[in-house]
Amino acid sequence: MSETTRHDDRPEPADRPATADRTEQDWRSILSPEEYHVLREAGTERPFTGEYWNTETEGVYTCRACGAELFRSETKFDAHCGWPSFYAPLAEDRVRYIKDTTLGMERVEVRCAACDSHMGHVFGGEGFPTPTDLRYCINSVSVRLVPASS
């Protein structure tokens, strides 16, 4: 099992339950309040405020809660929306999709397949010049960029 890192970058204690067995109290102790709100309560950070909305650093974007690799910088593009946007996940088995009818509209929520944390939403048919015509609109607080040079 890979080691998970807490929001303060300290390694998690070895007696912590595996990701699938974590209680909400476990998540609260591991994540910062903002991370918990977005990742576990499907919140959203404000646009143009997140750490990665405009970064061009090469690397892999991992789930901030469990460390699963979800997106690669090669699929990131500037959608001018204020959140990191990708046209595809690293692999389809890395994410799962849920119909979301909150806010009076129908959207598709994107979650980490490994720990069921909220990442953001995926939108299609917006006309971006990408290979998939999809925009994975992901909260910066939901992911952590591991630069290619590390």
Its pTM stands at 0.84
Please give the pLDDT value at position 75: 97
Residue 102's pLDDT band (cuts 50, 70, 90): confident
Q: Can you tell me the mean pLDDT for 117-138?
A: 96
Looking at residue 57, what DSSP letter applies? Answer: -
Question: Which among 63, 112, 115, 137 is annotated as catalytic?
Answer: 137
Which strands make up the sheet holding 85-86, listed edge to edge?
A: 76-77, 85-86, 134-138, 118-124, 107-112, 95-100
Render pLDDT for 45-82 as a digit per residue (tens, 0 to 9): 999 999 999 999 999 999 999 999 999 999 999 999 99
112 is catalytic: no
Structural domains in the chain? 24-147 (2.170.150.20)
